[in-house]
Amino acid sequence: MLPKFQLAEPGSIDEALELMKDEVDRPILMGGGTNLLVDLRNRGKAAGRLAWLGRIPELRRIEVTKDRVVLGARTTITDLLRRAELETAGPSLLHSARMFAGHMIRNAATVGGNICYGSPAADVVPPLLSLDAELTLASPSGQRSIPLQEFLTGYKATARRPDEILTSIGWPRPPAGAANMFHKLGLRKGDAITVIGVAVTIAVENGHCSLARIALGAVAPTVLRAKGAERLLEGERLTSAVIAEAARHAAQVCRPIDDLRASADYRRHTVEVLVRRLVARAWEQACVAHPRDRSAIRATGG
Amino acid sequence: MVIEKQVTFIVNGRRHKVGLPAHRTLLEALRDLGYVEVKCGCEKGDCGACAVLLDGEAVDACLTLAWQADGAALTTVRGLAKPGMEHPLHTAFIQTGAVQCGYCIPGMIIAAKALLEEHPDPTDEEIRRGLSGNLCRCTGYVQIFAAIRSAAVALRSEGELT
């Protein structure tokens, strides 16, 4: 049984913001409820008030234009799977959606909820970081945008202010010559919490890596970017030696924990292996996508 | 103070209007109304025993508030066919021996129904993904996969006839 609570069902963002003005009885926001309701059940004590955002149509949308993608924050994981354009506009995100929990959870869980919950194992977050995603938050006093990276401030902690609602998530479409991919290591393929999640973007120009993004999930209190490793790749021709060095660097910035799914040592070791493999694969794919740079593939030595 | 709301939904074609507090789950509400084929398993969205169709989408009733279903059409495993009739999924699960203790089956068949709506001729990978939120601790899934493949054939030939 769930503990007692009141439930508001705002029908618009304005109605929801009106509720957020109430400092005394400010509601806990609920997207799909797949984390929140489980937590409330475990906690067992009365929860005051929730606000379910599921009756606000404008929060559930996917806009794909020539150069940008925007998701309403209450877009579900299943909604992502039904948008074929994401195959090129957000391939790593689409891949993570396929690996996300189980079928019924994918129907309920939302992209915005997965971000705002602040879990380091959140499956949509490494892909969105690798895509340079930006969040838009609304509050009774206005609206602001913040890079996803700055939003993640700690374990289950975010930069969302108490009266703010995450309304949308946007990112620039990856350029034609870029490869963007995700790998989830779990104990099973389905219905599994991530042991390590790695998302990578590699763009190539004139035989050199023009842009590198490496995002790591479940290996630190927040999902994080391996910026040092990215800098080792950018501007370089990605030989296996360069990739191996960047992967070592990425493993060094992790601060993993021991838990029932894996030891910290295993995570540190394996994150290096996964980064190395994923960057090599992304480099190869980016070079193939960029015909002039096909000759660069040979540099990696397979 | 607990505030109740009049919630209206249709279950297996039958309309219900009930006063419910906000913290009542759809699972509790359905079982209280007598739909005890909807099973309570893990209560945290892992096992899928409580799966029902909500406006055609499979949801875990344990993680859905009854208020969220206000105005919706719900289908349980009993509602897939007319009363007293078998749906091809029911027949296939019985004939292939896909049922042992049976506790997971109502949710399993609901997930299978959603799967076959989206993929009428599913690959094994699609079946795996479709059942990724349903746990069975008896069968090892082999006969469940066989049942779904067999139901898919039956449903496709039914579709061709009509």
Which of B21, B65, B129 shows the shortest C-beta gap to A190? Answer: B129
User: Are A204 and A286 in contact, with CB atoms under 8 Å apart?
Assistant: yes
In the block, tokens 């069968």 appear at B139
Distance from CA of B59 to the nearest CA of A (A): 5
Angle formed at CA A88 by CA A82 and CA A94, multiple of 5 degrees? 45
User: Are A225 and A215 in contact, with CB atoms under 8 Å apart?
Assistant: yes
CA nearest neighbour of A89 among A188, A176, A195, A191 = A176
pLDDT mean over A217-242:
97
Q: Which residue pairs, CB below 8 angstroms and at least 24 apart, start in A78-81?
A: A78/A106, A78/A107, A78/B57, A80/A111, A81/A106
* Tokens, residue B117: 């709506």
Given a cut of 90, whether residue A91 has pLDDT beyond it is yes
pLDDT mean over B55-84:
96
Contact criterion met (CB < 8 Å) for A102 and B48? yes
User: Are A75 and A109 in contact, with CB atoms under 8 Å apart?
Assistant: no
Q: What is the pLDDT of residue A301?
A: 46
Count of CB contacts below 8 A, A vs B?
93
Residues of B in contact with A1 (CB under 8 A): 23, 28
- The pair phi, psi for residue A45, each rounded to 5°, is -110, 155
* Tokens, residue A86: 């994401």
pLDDT mean over A11-40:
97
pLDDT mean over A161-188:
95
Secondary structure letter of residue A295 according to DSSP: G
Of the pLDDT bands very low, low, confident and very high (cuts 50, 70, 90), residue A47 is confident
Given a cut of 80, whether residue B92 has pLDDT beyond it is yes
Given a cut of 50, whether residue A280 has pLDDT beyond it is yes
Helix (H, G, I), strand (E, B) or coil at A221: coil
Which of A2, A9, A190 shows the shortest C-beta gap to B132? Answer: A190
Q: How far apart are CA B3 and CA B19, in angstroms?
A: 9
pLDDT mean over A269-296:
88
B111 touches A: beta carbon within 8 Å: yes
Given a cut of 50, whether residue A302 has pLDDT beyond it is no
In the block, tokens 């304005």 appear at A14
B44 touches A: beta carbon within 8 Å: yes
pLDDT mean over A219-228:
96
B123 touches A: beta carbon within 8 Å: no
Q: What is the pLDDT of residue B158?
A: 86
Q: What ipTM score was computed for the predicted complex, to two decimals?
A: 0.96
* Tokens, residue B27: 């699972």
Q: What is the pLDDT of residues A116-167, one digit of tens each?
A: 999 999 999 999 999 999 999 999 999 999 999 999 999 999 999 999 999 9
Q: How far apart are CA B129 and CA A100, in angstroms?
A: 10
Given a cut of 50, whether residue A295 has pLDDT beyond it is yes
Contact criterion met (CB < 8 Å) for B57 and A78? yes
Q: How far apart are CA A2 and CA B65, in angstroms?
A: 10
H helices of chain A, in order, are: 13-20, 36-43, 77-81, 86-89, 91-98, 103-108, 111-116, 125-130, 148-151, 227-233, 240-253, 264-289
Distance from CA of B87 to the nearest CA of A (A): 21
CA nearest neighbour of A55 among A6, A16, A106 = A16
CA nearest neighbour of A131 among A148, A155, A146 = A148
CA nearest neighbour of A123 among A102, A103, A93 = A93
Q: What is the pLDDT of residue A26?
A: 96
The mean predicted confidence, pLDDT, of chain A is 94
Which chain B residue lies closest to A82 (C-alpha atoms)?
A: B118
Residue A216 neighbours by CB under 8 Å, 6+ apart: A126, A196, A197, A198, A223, A224, A225, A226, A250, A253, A254, A271, A275
In the block, tokens 């891949």 appear at A95
Q: What is the pLDDT of residue A189?
A: 84
What whole-number percentage of chain A has pLDDT above 90?
Answer: 88
Which of B3, B21, B133 shows the shortest C-beta gap to A104? Answer: B133
Given a cut of 90, whether residue A46 has pLDDT beyond it is no
What domains are defined for chain B?
Answer: 4-76 (3.10.20.30), 81-157 (1.10.150.120)
Lowest mean pLDDT among A252-266, A273-287, B32-46, B48-62: A252-266
Given a cut of 60, whether residue A191 has pLDDT beyond it is yes
Given a cut of 60, whether residue B143 has pLDDT beyond it is yes
Helix (H, G, I), strand (E, B) or coil at B61: helix
- The pair phi, psi for residue A220, each rounded to 5°, is -165, 170
Which of A38, A52, A102 shows the shortest C-beta gap to B133? Answer: A102
Distance from CA of A181 to the nearest CA of B (A): 20
